[in-house]
Amino acid sequence: MRAAVRLAAWVYAVAIYGFIFLPVVVLVLFSLQATSFPIPPFTGPSLRWYQAVLSDARLTSALVNSLLVAVASSLASVTLGFLSAWGFARFVLPGSALLRGLITLPLTVSYLIIGMGLLVLFNWAGVPKSLLAAGIGHVVINLPLCFAIIYSQMGDHQINIERAARDLGAAEWKVLLMITVPVMAPAIFAGFFLSMTFSWDEFVISFLLTRFETTLPVEIWNLLRSGLNPKTNAVGSLVFAVSIVLVVFFELTLLRRKPA
Amino acid sequence: MASAGNNPRALPWALVTPALAWTCAFFVLPFIAMGLSSLTAHEGGGFTLANYSQFFTDPSYWRAMVNSVEVTAIVTVISILLAYPFAWILAEMVPERWQRLALMLAVLPFWTSYVVRSYSWLLVLAQNGVINRALTGIGLIGEPLQLANTRLATVTGFVHFFVMLLTLTIFANLKQLSPSYRKAAADLGAGPVRTFLHVVLPLTLPGIMVGAFLTFVLCIGDYITPQILGGNNELVMPQLVMMQIGRRGDFPLASALSIILMAVVTIAYLACARWLKIERA
């Protein structure tokens, strides 16, 4: 009886892994397809579709745009998030809980609605659609995340180091730059890389707020109109590879930090 | 910074104001703009409730909301039913030293692009996709099945995403559960089934509810998966919103529909609030 339960459990686990990995395996496998359709039978292997992606000016410039928006918006998110987390963790402010709630509020609203709101506002204010507009939207969704990560990691043990620095005559900005930032570096990097992955993968806000120059997910979306195509598989596999690199950085920064 | 350094009371505000200002300017203000916009007419402006009354009187709009709620409910239930045993196996049967790796493998596909992930399901479910080829190949079916562009495809794509998410939340909950509860139940004579139903399940319910709420919010607000996998046969609310913007440029109606969608999410939150609060405490 016990053996039967164990066997059933393993079969179930393998089935779930199969379900989870099926689309990813199919994606990568058929990106290596030699012929023009990403459907069975597999005719590969060939790297021609990767070559086609890398020589496609629209896709490569979208890739550069995506990286640019991801880096810039993540830097802005992590800077604003860090400063406010420090402010809330170290000082007593009136209405602190309410204000912290306000900063984290965008986490509970779907990206579509955040994008819609910005579209209506920018439309009224006469702000043209652009990468900058999309980047502003990315900061709206990533700032609460950076704030939450960094704020949760602001422990009491850093207070004493900061106090010691102040006693030794350091100005506030010196304490911030030379003590708090290095001590909080793991949380800051974690916030940064997590923001990067979210911005890199974000579609709806970029779709609504950009027009001529746009990000990679939007270009992939446009590519989908041409139907099933191994080029889409190749670009998808490349996006997957970049995300994995970012996630590895995230793992190394937050989860592998030395126990306090 | 220099002036802030001279005045100790100004410093904390100098730190928190940029983030607050950003949130007010690009989150609160847009929301107010959307609210005002939803009360104007598409052409000519002027105050009107027509956008809202259109939603409540036009059956095709109602239909989209019903579709949204149905799909979300189906996805949430299936995802929990699939994820719970899986999280259990990972937490209880996989040796401790392999758990981290097993969990990382289970969420690895999370990091493919969301747009690409939905598209990958299309490769699996298409007329001449992997499943149809495999089934016709072994002679199980003569004609390819219509799998893509159906509700089934949308649900499959969503369940794929949320099984990963729920596995994470339920796994975390199971790991927090002290083994002594189960030992106590066993000592008092409860079999494995009774222990599960009366001890483990109630204690992991808050985690399930948090996961279910997350699933509900993310699923009902998503445009990509229904659009790629469901096609245009059965519209859900986000598709309807995007349609008002893309095809008709009708921002007021799109705003009104977004606000109605948010109201539904808020109702779901209030319904789950009891469990969500337990989790926070």
Give the model confidence (pLDDT) of A84-134 as tens digits: 999 998 888 888 889 999 998 888 888 999 999 999 999 999 999 999 999
CA distance A251 to A190: 8
Give the B window 12-71 contacts with A, CB below 8 Å: 12-16, 18-20, 22-24, 26-31, 33-34, 37
For residues A84 and A188, give the distance between their C-alpha atoms in angstroms, rounded to a whole number. 13
Is B33 in contact with A121 (Cβ distance < 8 A)? Answer: yes
Q: Quick check: A15 contacting B, CB < 8 Å?
A: no
d(CA A128, CA A133) in angstroms, rounded, equals 8
Q: Determine, for residues B112 and A236 on separate chains, whether the beta-carbon distance falls below 8 Å.
A: yes
Residue B255 has pLDDT above 70, yes or no: yes
Cβ distance B261 to A239 less than 8 Å, yes or no, reads: no
* A64-86 mean pLDDT: 95
Chain A and chain B share a number of CB contacts under 8 A equal to: 231
CA-nearest residue to B134 within chain A is A40
- Is the pLDDT assigned to residue A259 strictly greater than 60? no
Cβ count within 10 A of residue A33: 23
pLDDT the model gives residue B8: 65
Q: Tell me what pLDDT residue A140 has.
A: 96
Is the pLDDT at A206 greater than 90? The verdict is yes
CB contact under 8 A, A236 and B105: no
Residue B100 has pLDDT above 80, yes or no: yes
**What integer pLDDT is reported at residue B214 of this predicted model?**
86
Q: How confident is the model at residue B5 (pLDDT cuts 50, 70, 90)?
A: very low
Which sign does the torsion angle of CA A163, A101, A107, B275 carry? positive
Predicted complex ipTM:
0.86
Q: How confident is the model at residue B4 (pLDDT cuts 50, 70, 90)?
A: very low
Confirm if A90 and A156 have CB atoms less than 8 A apart.
no
Over residues A233-238, the mean pLDDT reads 87
The pair of three-digit structure tokens given for residue B41, joined into one six-digit string = 């007419």
Residue A41: is its pLDDT beyond 90?
no
Kindly report whether the peptide bond that precedes residue A38 is cis, defined as omega within 30 degrees of 0.
Answer: no
Reported confidence tier of residue B163, pLDDT bands at 50, 70, 90: very high
In chain B, which residue's Cα lies nearest the Cα of A119?
B30
The pLDDT assigned to A210 comes to 93
| Stretch B138-149: mean pLDDT | 78
B37-61 average pLDDT score: 84
Asked if the model's pLDDT at residue B3 lies above 50, the reply is: no
Residue A255's pLDDT is what?
A: 64
Q: What is the pLDDT of residues B187-202, one digit of tens each?
A: 887 777 788 888 888 8
What pLDDT is attached to residue B81? Answer: 95
Q: Is the CB of residue A200 less than 8 Å from the CB of residue B112?
A: no
Determine the residue of chain B that is closest to A175 in CA distance.
Answer: B5
Residue B26 predicted with pLDDT over 80: yes
How far apart CA A234 and CA A49 sit, in angstroms, is 6
Binned at pLDDT 50, 70 and 90, residue B98 comes out as: confident
Please name the member of B130, B160, B262 whose beta carbon is closest to the beta carbon of A113.
B262
pLDDT of residue A162: 86
Mean pLDDT of B107-133: 83
Q: Name the one residue in this structure whose structure tokens are 């929990």.
A: B80
Mean pLDDT within B113-121? 87
Query: Which segments of chain B does DSSP mark as H helices, in order?
Result: 2-6, 10-23, 29-38, 50-57, 59-92, 96-107, 114-125, 130-137, 151-176, 179-187, 192-195, 201-220, 224-225, 237-246, 251-280
Q: Which of A12, A233, A239 sits opposite B89 (nearest CB)?
A: A12
Q: Residue range B218-225: average pLDDT?
A: 91
Residue B107 pLDDT > 80: yes
Q: How far is CA A203 from the centre of its chain?
A: 11
**Contact yes or no for A116 and B255 at CB 8 A:** yes
DSSP state of A107: G
pLDDT score for A260 = 40
Q: Has residue B241 got a pLDDT over 70?
A: yes
Contact yes or no for A91/A180 (Cβ under 8 A): no
The residue with greater pLDDT, B83 or A244, is B83
In this prediction, residues A57-81 reach a mean pLDDT of 93
Mean pLDDT of A213-241: 85
Residues of A with CB below 8 A from B34's CB? 113, 116-117, 120-121
Residue B256's pLDDT is what? 93
Alpha carbon of A113: minimum distance to chain B alpha carbons (Å): 6
- How far apart CA B196 and CA B243 sit, in angstroms, is 47
> Looking at chain A, which residue has its C-alpha nearest residue B133?
A40
Residue numbers in A near B115 (CB within 8 A): 203, 217, 220-221, 224
Q: Chain A 30-69, CB below 8 Å of chain B: which residues?
A: 30, 37-41
**Is A182 an interface residue toward B (CB < 8 Å)?**
no
- A143 contacts in chain B (CB < 8 Å): 19, 22-23
Per-position b or e across B115-143, b if 16+ CB within 10 A of its CB: bbbbbbbbbbbbeebbbbbebeeeeeeee
Instruction: Check: CB of residue A181 under 8 Å from CB of residue A223.
Output: no
pLDDT top residue among A46 and B259: B259
> Of chain A residues 202-231, which have a CB less than 8 A from chain B?
203-204, 208, 216-217, 220-221, 224, 228
- Which pLDDT value is given to residue A257? 52
Phi, psi (rounded to 5 degrees) for B40: -110, 160
Asked if A84 and B111 come within 8 Å (Cβ–Cβ), the reply is no
Give residue A254's pLDDT: 65
Cβ–Cβ contact B101 with A under 8 A: no
Residues of A in contact with B31 (CB under 8 A): 117
Q: How many residues does chain B have?
A: 281
Is the pLDDT reported for residue B174 higher than 70? yes
To the nearest whole number, what is the mean pLDDT of chain A? 86
From the list A211, A218, A212, the residue with the least C-alpha distance to A235 is A218
- What is the rounded (10 degree) CA torsion for B225, B230, B231, B234? -120
Residue B160 to residue B200: CA distance in whole angstroms:
25
Q: What is the pLDDT of residues A150-168, one digit of tens each?
A: 998 887 777 888 888 888 8
Q: Is B45 left (phi over 0), alpha (psi -120 to 50) or beta?
A: left
Residue B67's pLDDT band, with cuts at 50, 70 and 90, is very high
Question: Rounded to the nearest 5 degrees, what angle is found at the Cα of B218, between the Cα atoms of B236 and A88?
Answer: 145
% of chain A residues with pLDDT over 70 = 93
Measured CA to CA, the distance from residue A71 to residue A85 in angstroms comes to 20
Q: pLDDT-derived band of residue B279, with 50, 70 and 90 as boundaries?
A: very low
* Per-residue confidence (pLDDT) for residue B2, from 0 to 100: 42
Q: According to the per-residue pLDDT averaged within each range, which of B171-175, B199-203, B257-261 is highest? A: B257-261
Token pair for residue A214?
Answer: 């746009």
Residues of B numbered 128-167 whose beta carbons fall under 8 angstroms of chain A's beta carbons: which are they? 128-130, 133-134, 160, 163-164
Least trusted range by pLDDT, from B18-32, B78-92, B120-134: B120-134
Q: Would you call B221 and A13 a contact, using CB atoms and an 8 Å cutoff?
A: no
pLDDT at residue B257 greater than cutoff 80: yes
Nearest CA in chain A to B228: A224
A-contacting residues in B 216-245 (Cβ below 8 Å): 217-218, 220-224, 228, 238, 241-242, 245
Q: Which two tokens stand for residue B244?
A: 């008002």
State the average pLDDT for chain B: 85
